[in-house]
Amino acid sequence: MTELTQTEWYKDAVIYQIHVRSFYDSNDDGIGDFKGLIQKLDYIEFLGVNTIWLLPFYPSPLKDEGYDIADYMSINPIYGTLRDFKKFLKEAHARNIRVITELVINHTSNQHEWFIKSRSAKPGSYWRNFYVWSDTAEEYSDARIIFRDFEPSNWTWDHIANAYYWHRFYAHQPDLNYDNPAVQKEIFKIVDFWLGLGVDGLRLDAIPYLFQREGTNCENLPETHEFLKKLNRHITSKFENRFLLAEANQWPEDAVNYFGKGDECQMAFHFPLMPRMYMAVQMEDRFPIIDIIEQTPPIPQNCQWAIFLRNHDELTLEMVTDEERDYMYRMYGQDQQMRINLGIRRRLAPLMGGDRRKIELLNALLFSMPGTPVMYYGDEIGMGDNIYLGDRNGVRTPMQWSNDNNAGFSNATPQKLYLPVIIDPEYNYQAVNVNLQQQNSQSLLWWMKRLIEVHGLYIAFSRGTIEFLNSDNTKILAFYRIYKEQVILVLINLSRFTQSFKLDLSKYANHSLTEVFGKSSFPIITDIPYFFVLCPYGFLWLEINKPDTQHKIAATHKHEVLSIKDKWCDLLASSEKKKLEKILAHYLVDCRWFRAKNHAIAKVAITDNILIKNSATPVYLLLVNVEFNDKEAEQYFMFITAETNEDNLYASDQPAKIICSLVDKNKKISYLIDAMYSLVAWKEVFHLFSANKILAGANGNLEVKANGLYKKIVSHQDESIEIKALAVEQSNTSILYGKTALLKIYRRCEFEENPEVEISQFLAQQKDFKSSKIACTLKYHYKNKMMTVGIVQEYIPNEGNAWEYTVNSIANLIEQMDLSIPAKITSSRVYPWQKIIPSLPKEIVESLGLYAHTVIILAERTAQMHIALAAETDNKHFATENFSLFDQRSLYQSLRNAFIKTSALFKSATIKLDDVLQKKINKFTTDKDLLLDQVKAILRHKIGGRKIRCHGDYHLGQILYTGNDFVIIDYEGEPGRPLSERKIKRPPLRDVAGILRSFHYALYTVLNNKTVFSTAHHFDAEEWYCWICHLFINTYLEYPGIKNLMPKETECFALLLKAFMFEKVLHEIEYEINNRPDWLYVPCKGLIQLLE
């Protein structure tokens, strides 16, 4: 909790109402219990609610669901023991979940020892005065009978006492006598007992009925409010941050009195609002909601309404007019079995006829209204009811966890269950259960989880005011929720049809609108009425942003400060973890390896932590799950540690990446950092990986598997060996151990073997091909799934990579070469994807200078790699396959999709190219058929050739230069693609296209360096690039065995190469538009080459 929410935390709560007996049975007796509830706390935490409201769990005859209490200070044995309750409370608090319990103080069970003593005591005696007795049943005749379906009077004759006793509810629930100070004293003892155990709040059941006075309706009497003030003073004098929730089923003007001046109850239920939300949806009219909100008086600053859709009782219709009650019965309670007392005994989903849209709409309405939302267990999955069970038991059936026996609630025989599970065909537990919905991200459960998360991000929902907007369309409910400078515009379509409407938003002219779930931007608000369209039962939550904050992202992340009690690793405990997770949400966007920088993070969760090294400087591996508003979730690995010496943060070439600052109880400052930059820690960790081991985590484990090579490349004795993090910016992180071993950590991860492990191990078996061998694998296991964390491989000494070598070589070549290539050659430029030129003119090769030899070696190494990957094997993952007509059609479809997407990108981009290039690109964006005809050529012939496991992300940066040779590395494929996609077999020419495009980029990198190119004004870059491509292709095709993998016909070869060149260029254009617009001209030139 933040400082803001500490003292008034109930304002920011989302309450989840549970009956212990309904939730989960741990001992197979057919009844839920506290041990079962403890087992399901992880689910409640997953849902995102932060407060649990428990129905009565005290000893009771259970004639009224436990509201008939026989002992206030113990636990009903069927639910467990007081020790079980204390453990539940501790476990809930460890998850930052608060707990509210029931305090039923209006009445007791007739089995309570107080009543047993009272009925036997003499009139006027100590115990007799604990309850309200009379010799006649005529007193307080103006008080209404609440349960008129069951009770004929508020008085019942007791044959032992020979007198009538007063009860506002069932006859087995006699009312306590609050005119007796001894009763109040006992109630205070009960309050002290439960709050002393750590309970966070108390719901005061049936609070309006504590006192009786002749000539009144015996509700909301001044004496009741005096008692509540006295109770409030008693609690605040002894306990901090506790609150009272009044259950006062009254009209707003009466219910508001239970707040007093902020000195009675801090919360009260808004009963009249609840039925009017249902009425508004059924009538398709906003009036019932606006009318009741406008009738609601202001409340004290420290108070809050509790708002709800359903609970354990009937959908009460006491606080509606007779006409409205009749309407509600006709619409929602047609069958007499659905009605009880003055209400309807149905759950939310059946009330909505199972209509998912209406269920979502009502929940969105609930979470939009002023107040703290209260959810009833099971409604988040759309549980059904059984109207044929007695009383209100139809809405109190067992929670539906799975499609196993008894809905996964209990292993008892079905006959032992306290109530039967729902087997109605529409809401059968086999179709409606937690397990199924947790596995389906489109389920109601996940939708509710997202709603709760987004609601929690905007304090305007929990603490803001409400301001209704007028629209000519009465089917539209529109209002602002405002807290200080935060403004949310809420739009609700109450109709079953699409609605259009206009709103005057001119008070926020020049502000922008952002939809809060997907972060979609809407047009700027002007003085002209804003036009909206909402789908049937649709809604929008739109944040109104100031002009200067539009699209603003907190890019500069100042180090937040976290307080720690003792050890920093305590942050990984569930009670503290959420603080760290919020900080990580900011930290991740600044990390090079975090790929989703352009997507709004909805939530970060640490799903596992594994202690890698336990010492004075412990290192932990974290598995971090990142959820987004507009795309599927991603998982990342992080290693973290703490550094106490600030100087060490900057001791190496790579300064430490600071996550946050830490301050302990002694005010000592340390820093939580990315452990990949703590070289001291990693030297020890390298040694730990020398032997096979399994390191257990909170949920999964890390398997370290080293082979004989590891001990050869990692020395245990030499403490002088230098360790450093490589400065190369990439999607992974690498650490160099001396000059012999390299640790690579795959930051983004999926439950599957990384392609680099598979390919490296396969290539290690090919003796004729030189590659870096793996010495150790780090794999994370969870249940039956596995993902690759990283590898330790032999380090290949080098002088840099082929990209750097190429850039330097081209720069030198341009400064020294004779730039005049014969006109007869330049006039007929032909690229290899147009036509193969088997023998290049001698003067062309000479014009390439010494770099021609480099191109030849690179082509040979590329061919050797493909021959090695195509080696004969029994491994089905590496066995070669034919490139079929089906594959050709699939490739065409991929290119078609890419063309259309890129064309749309060009149209929306504001990037300006030079006039000639812009004119050519405009033709591309306007003439779709011209483009598609180019690619359609791939469908006109049977191409042929073979498919193999390719490198997948092949370019000059993936090839090391050793000083006299080149070695290919990094076989993990393109990090932005899913692992399964990277493993798809493809024609080798896909890799070839990658390196040809890399040559093109290298050339323009040199040309952009004005100092290098100042003397070469007439250099024809495209001419030079053309011949580089030809030399590479010719050398590649001449390598022994490579033609066995290629299409037989040269025309088909050219077609396939051209298709993959198109694929690469279109991908580059998308990347440059989104990331490096100044470089867009390079792939645009490449696109023009292909089109012309």
Residue 166: give its domain's CATH number: 3.90.400.10
What does the angle CA 645 – CA 646 – CA 651 come to, to the nearest 5 degrees? 95
Higher pLDDT, 478 or 682: 478
Instruction: Answer whether residue 319 shows pLDDT above 70.
Output: no
Q: Which helix (H) or strand (E) holds 46?
A: helix 41-47
> What are the residues whose beta carbons fall under 8 Å from the beta carbon of 816, sequence distance 6 or more?
849
399 falls within a domain: no
Positions annotated as catalytic residues are 205, 247
Instruction: Answer whether residue 998 shows pLDDT above 50.
Output: yes
Residue 866 has which token pair? 């493909």
Q: pLDDT, tens digit, for every residue of 388-447?
A: 887 778 889 999 999 999 999 999 999 999 999 999 889 999 999 999 999 998 999 999
Average pLDDT in the 127-149 region? Answer: 92
307 falls within a domain: no
DSSP reduced 3-state for 743: strand
DSSP reduced 3-state for 427: coil
Q: pLDDT, tens digit, for every residue of 591-641?
A: 888 888 777 888 899 999 999 877 777 889 999 999 987 778 899 999 998
503 falls within a domain: yes
Tell me which amino acid residue 1080 is. Answer: L
> What are the residues whose beta carbons fall under 8 Å from the beta carbon of 404, sequence distance 6 or more?
none
431: alpha, beta or left? (left if phi > 0; alpha if psi -120 to 50): alpha
Instruction: Answer whether residue 921 shows pLDDT above 70.
Output: yes
Residue 953 — pLDDT band, cuts 50, 70, 90? Answer: very high
Dist. CA 290–CA 361, nearest whole Å: 17
511 & 620 share domain: no
888 falls within a domain: no
Dist. CA 381–CA 431, nearest whole Å: 10
pLDDT at residue 729 in the model: 54
Number of domains in the chain: 5
Dist. CA 284–CA 476, nearest whole Å: 8
pLDDT at residue 819 in the model: 46
Average pLDDT in the 483-512 region? Answer: 95
Q: What is the DSSP letter of 558?
A: P
Q: What is the pTM of this model?
A: 0.65
What does the angle CA 640 – CA 643 – CA 646 come to, to the nearest 5 degrees? 140
Instruction: Compute the CA torsion angle 341, 347, 349, 350 (nearest 10 deg).
Output: -50
Phi and psi, residue 241, nearest 5°: 55, 40
Residues 842, 884 contacting (CB under 8 angstroms) = no
pLDDT at residue 826 in the model: 46
Instruction: Answer whether residue 714 shows pLDDT above 70.
Output: yes
Dist. CA 493–CA 830, nearest whole Å: 61
487 & 610 share domain: no
Q: What is the largest CA-CA distance in the chain?
A: 127
Dist. CA 378–CA 347, nearest whole Å: 9
427: alpha, beta or left? (left if phi > 0; alpha if psi -120 to 50): alpha
Q: Of 525, 547, 569, which residue constitutes the final position of a domain?
A: 547
DSSP reduced 3-state for 562: strand
Q: Of 498, 523, 547, which residue constitutes the final position of a domain?
A: 547
525 & 621 share domain: no
482 falls within a domain: yes
pLDDT at residue 825 in the model: 44
Dist. CA 90–CA 97, nearest whole Å: 10
Alpha helices in 547-590, H assignment, sequence order: 574-588
853 & 972 share domain: yes
Residue 140 — pLDDT band, cuts 50, 70, 90? Answer: very high
Phi and psi, residue 894, nearest 5°: -60, -45
869 falls within a domain: yes
Dist. CA 193–CA 247, nearest whole Å: 21
Residue 985: give its domain's CATH number: 3.90.1200.10
914 & 1029 share domain: no
pLDDT at residue 642 in the model: 87
Q: pLDDT, tens digit, for every residue of 465-490?
A: 999 999 989 999 999 999 999 999 99
Residue 849 — pLDDT band, cuts 50, 70, 90? Answer: confident
Q: What is the distance of C-alpha 1040 from the center of its chain? A: 52
323 falls within a domain: no
| Neighbouring C-beta atoms of residue 440, cutoff 10 Å | 10
Higher pLDDT, 225 or 631: 225
Residue 650 pairs in a beta bridge with none
Dist. CA 1010–CA 1014, nearest whole Å: 6
Give me Rg for the CA atoms of the chain.
36
507 & 641 share domain: no
Provide DSSP, 705-742.
EE-HHHHHHS-SS-TT--EEE-----SSEEEEETTTEE
992 & 843 share domain: yes
Q: Which helix (H) or strand (E) holds 869?
A: helix 851-869
Report the half-sphere exposure of 106 (CA within 13 A, side-chain side).
26
pLDDT at residue 35 in the model: 97
Average pLDDT, the chain: 88
932 & 1036 share domain: no
Q: Which helix (H) or strand (E) holds 898?
A: helix 885-908
584 falls within a domain: yes
Residues 308, 267 contacting (CB under 8 angstroms) = no
| Neighbouring C-beta atoms of residue 392, cutoff 10 Å | 18
**The length of the chain, given as a count of residues:** 1092
Range of the domain at 637: 561-794
Q: Are strands 304-308 and 372-376 parallel, antiparallel or unpaired?
A: parallel
Quick one: 665 exposed, middle or buried, by C-beta within 10 A (0-12, 13-18, 19+)? exposed
Residue 540: give its domain's CATH number: 2.60.40.1180
Dist. CA 18–CA 322, nearest whole Å: 32
790 & 668 share domain: yes
Residue whose entry in the numeric block shows the structure tokens 């590891």: 710
Work out whether the CA dihedral 821, 823, 826, 828 comes out positive or negative. Answer: negative
DSSP reduced 3-state for 330: helix
Instruction: Answer whether residue 1050 shows pLDDT above 80.
Output: yes
898 & 972 share domain: no
574 & 483 share domain: no
pLDDT at residue 716 in the model: 63
Residue 313 — pLDDT band, cuts 50, 70, 90? Answer: confident
Q: pLDDT, tens digit, for every residue of 769-812?
A: 999 999 999 999 999 999 999 999 999 999 999 999 999 988 88
Instruction: Answer whether residue 1011 shows pLDDT above 70.
Output: no
Q: Which helix (H) or strand (E) holds 641?
A: strand 634-643
Dist. CA 86–CA 198, nearest whole Å: 8
Residue 107 pairs in a beta bridge with 175
Residue 822 — pLDDT band, cuts 50, 70, 90? Answer: very low
961 & 1024 share domain: yes
